[in-house]
Amino acid sequence: MKITANDLRVENGAKIASETFGQGNAGDTILNVNNLIISNGGLIRTGTFGAGNGGEVLINNANSVEVNASQTILGSNFKSSLLNAAIKA
């Protein structure tokens, strides 16, 4: 997946993800942005929940990247995150 923008905000529980839930590799997430803000439980993630590689998160041309705060939804706390994970089922 590729996203190109001057400013990108992922916030209030929003999620940008490239994931697989079976065997296989997750795709890469490529962000061509000047300013990236992930806040209030926002999430950018590549990952797999089976056999395979988690993919990559690539941030190009960024002047600033800010990851902060968390959000509580139904009593659970969700931290803002930028991550890659492979969880073998």
The Cα 80–Cα 89 span in angstroms is 24
Pair 4, 30: CB distance under 8 Å: no
The Cα 36–Cα 20 span in angstroms is 25
Q: What is the tens place of the pLDDT at every residue in 9-57?
A: 999 989 998 888 878 888 888 999 999 999 988 988 888 887 777 788 8
Can you give the pTM of this predicted structure? 0.79
In the chain, domain spans:
2-70+79-86
Written as six digits, the tokens of 80 are 């803002």
Residue whose pair of structure tokens reads 């990108």 in the numeric block: 8
